[in-house]
Structure 1
Amino acid sequence: MRSHAAAPSLPVSPMERLKDPWTVPSGIDSPIPQVPSDSQLLRSTPLRTSGGHEAWKEHVGELQPRHSCEIAWGIPFTCDEFVAEAVRSRHPKLLSHSIPEVLRASVHRNCKLREDDLVKIRAEWLNKWLERALALRKDEDVLKSNMPNHLRHILQPKRLLVWKEILQEEGYHDLGVFDEVVKGTELTGDVPVTHSFEKVFRPAEITESQLRASAQADRLAAIHSARSSGDREVDDTVYSKTLEEVKAGWAFGPVDSSFLPADAVVSRRFGLKQSDKIRLIDDLSGSKVNLTVQTSESPKPHTTDVIASMTLELLKGEARPVLGKTFDLKSAYKQLGLAESALWASYVAVFNPNTRKGEIFQLLAVPFGATRAVYSFLRVAHSLWWIGCKCLNLMWSNFYDDFVTLAVESNAANVESTVDVLFRLLGWQYATEGAKCKPFDTSFAALGVCVNLRQFPDGYVEFSNTPKRVAELIESINSFLTKGSMSLVEGQRLRGRMQFSDGQLFGRMGRLCMRAVNNHIFSGKGCKIPAECSSAMQRFACFLNTSAPRKIRRAVSDPYLVFTDACYEPGSDSWPCGIGGILFYPTGTPLQAFSFCLNSHMMKTLGSDRKQTIIFEVELLGLVVAAKVWSNILVDSPVTFFVDNNSARDVAISGCGRSVVVNRLIEHLLIAEVASATFPWFARVPSPSNPSDAPSRGNCAELLGAGVPFVPVESVVQDILSSLGNK
């Protein structure tokens, strides 16, 4: 609304709410004649006029000043309106939001089409492009004949022109991926924008010119750093694998350092010992090559959330038994070559365990450890995944070189042969035997996660960490606890492994443990593990062993809504302090409610004898009671909790508070999350829009009249408060 007066008299100050309706005075232009009670005055802003002079206009025969003050009111939703909006908004972190649309469409086609039709569509598409591959064979040879020798050798198995025509004909959005593969991957400079990934800008830290200028001095340090790891097995493996790369045409060398170009950059190659293998790492960060890279996107491979959302989408439309497996590309990065213009920055220093000296090799295939290598490979892998979804109706995801694939049991053989022909058509080698080639099964491992599909016909799928991952992580934690110290690098590595494993555990107990590890490694107080961090690591290890698998259910894809509120009016004889809550179905219909008045002893436990107000603690108590009393209903479900106290919402989100009482209440909340395996989201509801305000004050007539059953919560409150003691 706008006032013709510069400073009209208003009934409340800014950010205050009206206790009663306010009739808009004459002289104020307003879309409504009366501002309802509980509306909040957001601002009263003077309006400036052109040239700093007051402008005038003719109005009903008189000269009056133009609008000189703008008044903004926030009019809250009614309780029913807010619940309706909450239903429409849904849960911000629903798994259904994680599935890419092209994959969702593929899942829907698998549910709707007959198996015979799926088989026919796949066969016709593959036959068409196999014939096209034969027709393009001579053109393919001409294309590769114009490539540098090393790139022609690496890309020889690829049917590049077929791949390009498929992308063009099917309408793929990133046709530049073909040019990058044909020209080879760069190691420095700007990463091309693909529109396949999230927009995130990260500037380069140094220029390519600066890298070239410092190359000669820096490579001497890199060559001298090529020394023994102290583990003969690691040294032998790194050197022997480097020689294997030379034999395969993925590298060249050894190279005499005296023949290196003046601007040649040498990075250190070392081995990282993992559980069952030793991985070669090319440290292009240490040599500053990665510092020249500037990006506008963040490549995000499909995590287990995408796999979970794929299974959930399939659960919605399919009841037949479903199987799964992982297709693993062999030496994935080595199937792509470097651009000729990148070879000056592709040298690595490798320790020769026989001569006890460092040797220099030039990498020709994309190195594992280069920032641009990650972008380039994921860009290519994304196109392969997209073709499978769009053209062949494959239900699969892509995590780096792993393609996790689902299939209805009766159609699994056809899916397996389809993937095989697709990879062979485009010239990509994948594991066809050994540990990385398992048949379709009701239980399979991918990305360190075990996916259990046995209960798919019953409406749910289970995700858990593999026993191997759990055992390795617990062993690592125990080794640090025994040693009693943990460096920054060790802590960062442990935290990363904990974070990945925690993704398959319900609740946020693991996050609190990781926070303790994080606080320690960045405390600057040395490597000795403090008692708090040690206790947190022990809890995480126990949590890994005892946590139930993460379940994805067909019937609970939509979120429940929980509203809680509290009142604290110590001067009242009848209802000095109360909590109330309402549980709503995902449709917005009330399911259950509770209303409870705290006695003086309960209030004292929350601090009424020491503090002027305990409304924050009571609001948090109401939230905890709701999570516990309805845990059997919310099991395995997404749920949005609405509270009208910012502090209660904030500590519920962060999982920690500043007092013993608050932290113990939070512990109860987190334990309830784990026990019911819920997916919680915490949000604020304005007080006037909170439907649980009435039951928190003992006003239950309207809900009872609507037939909403009230659940007793006295025993739950007593159990919670008894654990707080008199702290």
Structure 2
Amino acid sequence: LGKEAHMLQSSALPSPFLTREWPDADVEFVAYTIGVWRELLPLLAQRQRQVVRSVIQAVSPLQEALCRFRCDSAIRVAANKNAAVIAFFTSLLRWPDVWQAKEMIRGFSIVGEDPDTQAWLASDAVAAVDAILQSSPGKHAAEIQRVTEKEHAKGFCSEWMTRSQLNARFGRGGWRPLERFLIVQADGKLRVIDNARRTGHNLHTEMNETIHVVSVEFVAAAAQQVANHLPPHERPPQETSSWLRMRIATDDLPDAYRGHPVRDDQLCFSIVAVFVEGAGWRFTILYGLAFGLESAVVNFNRFPLLAVAVCRRCLSGMNAAYFDDELSVDFHSESAVSQLALKLVCKAFGAEPQAAKSFPPAPDRNYLGTSVHVGAFLCEGTICVQPKFATVVKVCTRLQAALQSGTLPRDLAGRLRGDLIWLFSVNSGYGAKYASPLLTRFQHGESEVLPAEDKLVLQSLLAIVLQAPPRMFCLQACARPFTRVYSDASFEGGVLRLGWVLFPSDGAQPQGGTCLVPSAVLESWKSRRQQIYPGETLAVLLVPMLLPRYFVAADVLWFIDNQASVTAVIKGCSAEGDVHEIAHLAAVSRCAQQTKVWFEWIDSDSNPSDGLSRLGLLDPWSAQQDWFLQEFSYPAEAFRSAVVQAL
């Protein structure tokens, strides 16, 4: 574009932080319905629920007929599943997944049916069982036994069986067991996991589709799309409304994976090995899907996907699901239209939400480990999302333990990786990217010792966790203007100079700046023929330090013409140790200033800060612009020792 054209066109860009529309077309359909019916929406929804109930009653003879064809597993774990209702809505919605109703009757596949799977079963099935029987009981053996026996009582799996009993049923070498381990969830609940990756089950699984779930951003997207369809005089922000009030409700489906039956001819792959006190290794046939199978994840998720689609398309419900965690977003002050839709459909499908985990519509709710506040939707046009306090405390405690001990064991790295990626993906997107490389390496590596550079990463992550502000979603009408920044670096004759141009969000005079980087800073970096890469990255740390009033609690669109530098500041990961460190320190600085930055690449010829990085204030083109130009001295607080000490 060239410098002038790029500056002009970037000034007309929408904020990169605007709430985007949800990609599912039926979400837009519900938003349109709400915008048309408004205060009369509960009346429409009531009539729709009456129609759905009549449909459920009408197909009941079909369900009675289908029950006679249930496989053994379906009789045991899916007796309440209504295949007739599922089949009806699959047909009505022209739903592409046409097999789910049949599989509720005949069972789901858990591994593939190709020759490779049969060869895998025949090759070393006997040796796999031998290895288990000769092994010692693993960690939490007593707890695994106790949890499994609770599943016995619920009918999800068979009584304990010996190897000879399974050989008599499936033939010697005709069955492959899963190995079970246990984790303690954040809420203290013990969950058993069947390690299908270790036993080879996942390697022999055929995946014909992918997983579709939601994040908490769905709440903001739904709010924006509903606001788009309201008359201008009713759109937020408004002081009052006779009917509009946003609330969210949550529900939890019962049994989840265990309520989906396994095909009779695949039960030979659905066997779990458990060490039983006083008896040694025993086996149990699992009639429902195992938690740990790749196929189980996809197969179960098909159920809430269809249920949510029925809610949206037939019952005016603004619903979503993350596996068995169901979400209802209601916009009417006097009626829980969405939650009523969800409960009706799930009950009709045969998986009525658990009463103990059903929470009615409210302005504040926890969903997916986060606190979501929608109480300011009407008056301010905002939605606030932040991690639960208990999650923050847990993560900080684990990070501090690793830093104090100087070690990061595999299990701690795994727990931190899950917690941090989840926490940051909700609250601070760049934090999730910064956490993953280090924690993944320690989770799967051999050494537990933390070198100095890894300690710095953990210190940075701890600082981000402690300082990250709540994430605010604003309706487009309430979105704040953003600041634009262009930065560049030049390295000639052993001298590194930075240059930048900042266009304030309030339209004030643009600020042009330049700064020479001291040789002491360059000497602390890896020796290179060219120091452009770390120099471009350093600008992201330095400019907010020099001009804090433009960055504190601000939204920023930042253009950089070095692709490697853009990647480093976005991902927080570089093979170059000094750049890796600069990117993390810059992230901590942004977090402390509560700055949201969207980084973009720009070609060098279009970068207006190019001249300032080369000639400083002597650049003739920059001098001709209506900018306030200033030469800065390198600040003492930007030296590595000062930044690290600040952590």
Q: Which residue of 2 aligns with 1:299?
A: 211
Select the residue among 671, 684, 690 that pairs with 2:601: 684
Indicate conservation of the 8 Å contact 2:403/2:455, yes or no. yes
Counterpart amino acid of residue 367 in structure 2: A
Secondary structure of the structure 1 residue equivalent to 2:292: coil
Q: Which residue of 2 aligns with 1:642?
A: 559
Indicate conservation of the 8 Å contact 1:104/1:313, yes or no. yes
Q: Which residue of 1 aligns with 2:241?
A: none
Secondary structure of the structure 1 residue equivalent to 2:213: coil
How far apart are 1:682 and its partner, in Å? Answer: 2.8
Select the residue among 491, 496, 509 that pairs with 2:418: 496
Counterpart amino acid of residue 426 in structure 2: Q
Indicate conservation of the 8 Å contact 1:326/1:404, yes or no. yes
Q: Which residue of 2 aligns with 1:382?
A: 305
Indicate conservation of the 8 Å contact 2:252/2:326, yes or no. yes
1:464 has 2:386 as partner: yes
Partners of 2:368 and 2:597 lie apart in 1 by: 25
Secondary structure of the structure 2 residue equivalent to 1:454: coil
Indicate conservation of the 8 Å contact 2:533/2:564, yes or no. yes
For residues 563-601 of structure 1, give each alpha carbon's deviation from its aligned partner in whole angstroms, at most 9, with x where no partner exists.
Answer: 3345677899xxx9562314387xxx97652223446xx
Indicate conservation of the 8 Å contact 1:223/1:349, yes or no. no
Partners of 1:719 and 1:340 lie apart in 2 by: 71
Indicate conservation of the 8 Å contact 1:90/1:559, yes or no. no
Partners of 2:74 and 2:15 lie apart in 1 by: 48
Q: Which residue of 1 aligns with 2:178?
A: 267
Secondary structure of the structure 1 residue equivalent to 2:396: helix
Select the residue among 267, 277, 280 that pairs with 1:343: 267
Cα distance change of structure 1 residues 577 and 400 upon mapping to structure 2, 3 Å threshold? closer
Partners of 1:179 and 1:702 lie apart in 2 by: 73
How far apart are 1:238 and its partner, in Å? Answer: 1.8
Under a length normalisation based on structure 1, what TM-score does the superposition of the two structures give? 0.73
Indicate conservation of the 8 Å contact 1:140/1:160, yes or no. yes
How far apart are 1:561 and its partner, in Å? Answer: 4.3
1:100 has 2:27 as partner: no
1:282 has 2:191 as partner: no
Select the residue among 439, 450, 453 that pairs with 2:371: 450
For residues 149-195 of structure 1, give each alpha carbon's deviation from its aligned partner in whole angstroms, at most 9, with x where no partner exists.
Answer: 431453332332222222322332332333333331111117xxxxx
Q: Which residue of 2 aligns with 1:334?
A: 258
Indicate conservation of the 8 Å contact 2:427/2:468, yes or no. yes
Q: Which residue of 2 aligns with 1:414?
A: 337
Select the residue among 210, 217, 220 that pairs with 2:130: 220
For residues 663-683 of structure 1, give each alpha carbon's deviation from its aligned partner in whole angstroms, at most 9, with x where no partner exists.
Answer: 675455323431454443433
How far apart are 1:483 and its partner, in Å? Answer: 5.5
Secondary structure of the structure 1 residue equivalent to 2:338: helix
Q: How does 1:536-575 map to 2 (within 5 A)?
A: 536-554=457-475, 555-556=478-479, 561-566=484-489
Counterpart amino acid of residue 441 in structure 1: A
Partners of 1:84 and 1:208 lie apart in 2 by: 64
How far apart are 1:720 and its partner, in Å? Answer: 5.7
Partners of 2:38 and 2:352 lie apart in 1 by: 31
How far apart are 1:491 and its partner, in Å? Answer: 2.5
Q: Which has the higher helix share?
A: 2
Cα distance change of structure 1 residues 292 and 636 upon mapping to structure 2, 3 Å threshold? farther
How far apart are 1:132 and its partner, in Å? Answer: 1.9
Q: Which residue of 1 aligns with 2:121?
A: 211
Select the residue among 252, 268, 274 that pairs with 2:158: 252
Cα distance change of structure 1 residues 636 and 437 upon mapping to structure 2, 3 Å threshold? farther
Partners of 1:400 and 1:703 lie apart in 2 by: 55
Cα distance change of structure 1 residues 664 and 531 upon mapping to structure 2, 3 Å threshold? closer
Indicate conservation of the 8 Å contact 2:417/2:439, yes or no. yes
Q: Which residue of 1 aligns with 2:232?
A: none
Indicate conservation of the 8 Å contact 2:267/2:287, yes or no. yes
Indicate conservation of the 8 Å contact 1:520/1:529, yes or no. no
How far apart are 1:410 and its partner, in Å? Answer: 0.3
Secondary structure of the structure 2 residue equivalent to 1:497: helix
How far apart are 1:539 and its partner, in Å? Answer: 4.5
Q: Which residue of 2 aligns with 1:127?
A: 50
For residues 78-120 of structure 1, give each alpha carbon's deviation from its aligned partner in whole angstroms, at most 9, with x where no partner exists.
Answer: 345445766898788865166433324423433453131x223
Q: Which residue of 2 aligns with 1:367?
A: 290
Partners of 2:50 and 2:5 lie apart in 1 by: 56
Indicate conservation of the 8 Å contact 2:637/2:643, yes or no. no
How far apart are 1:451 and its partner, in Å? Answer: 1.2
Partners of 1:397 and 1:604 lie apart in 2 by: 55
Partners of 2:107 and 2:65 lie apart in 1 by: 17
Cα distance change of structure 1 residues 321 and 127 upon mapping to structure 2, 3 Å threshold? closer
Q: How does 1:42-191 map to 2 (within 5 A)?
A: 77-82=1-6, 96=20, 99-116=23-40, 118-189=41-112
Farther-moved stretch of structure 1 (258-267 vs 638-647): 638-647
Partners of 1:314 and 1:369 lie apart in 2 by: 38
Q: Which residue of 2 aligns with 1:241?
A: 150
How far apart are 1:518 and its partner, in Å? Answer: 3.9
* Structure with more relative contact order (C-alpha pairs < 8 Å, separation 6 or more): 2
Cα distance change of structure 1 residues 516 and 339 upon mapping to structure 2, 3 Å threshold? closer
Indicate conservation of the 8 Å contact 1:556/1:638, yes or no. no
1:324 has 2:248 as partner: yes
Partners of 1:235 and 1:613 lie apart in 2 by: 58
Counterpart amino acid of residue 296 in structure 2: A
For residues 45-71 of structure 1, give each alpha carbon's deviation from its aligned partner in whole angstroms, at most 9, with x where no partner exists.
Answer: xxxxxxxxxxxxxxxxxxxxxxxxxxx
Q: Which residue of 2 aligns with 1:63?
A: none
Partners of 1:218 and 1:657 lie apart in 2 by: 41
Select the residue among 553, 563, 572 that pairs with 1:655: 572
Indicate conservation of the 8 Å contact 1:462/1:550, yes or no. yes
Cα distance change of structure 1 residues 590 and 663 upon mapping to structure 2, 3 Å threshold? farther
Partners of 1:292 and 1:726 lie apart in 2 by: 50
For residues 120-165 of structure 1, give each alpha carbon's deviation from its aligned partner in whole angstroms, at most 9, with x where no partner exists.
Answer: 3322222222112222211211112122243145333233222222
Counterpart amino acid of residue 334 in structure 1: R
Indicate conservation of the 8 Å contact 1:270/1:281, yes or no. yes
Under a length normalisation based on structure 2, what TM-score does the superposition of the two structures give? 0.82
Indicate conservation of the 8 Å contact 2:410/2:448, yes or no. yes
What are structure 1's unaligned runs of at least 5 residues? 1-76, 191-203
Partners of 1:343 and 1:480 lie apart in 2 by: 43
Counterpart amino acid of residue 294 in structure 1: E
Partners of 1:87 and 1:489 lie apart in 2 by: 48
Partners of 1:267 and 1:674 lie apart in 2 by: 44
Counterpart amino acid of residue 118 in structure 2: E
1:580 has 2:484 as partner: no
Counterpart amino acid of residue 159 in structure 2: G
Cα distance change of structure 1 residues 670 and 112 upon mapping to structure 2, 3 Å threshold? farther
Secondary structure of the structure 2 residue equivalent to 1:238: helix
Q: Which residue of 2 aligns with 1:438?
A: 359
Select the residue among 655, 670, 689 that pairs with 2:587: 670
Secondary structure of the structure 2 residue equivalent to 1:158: coil
Q: Which residue of 2 aligns with 1:533?
A: 454
Farther-moved stretch of structure 1 (340-349 vs 251-260): 251-260
* Identity percentage of aligned residues: 18
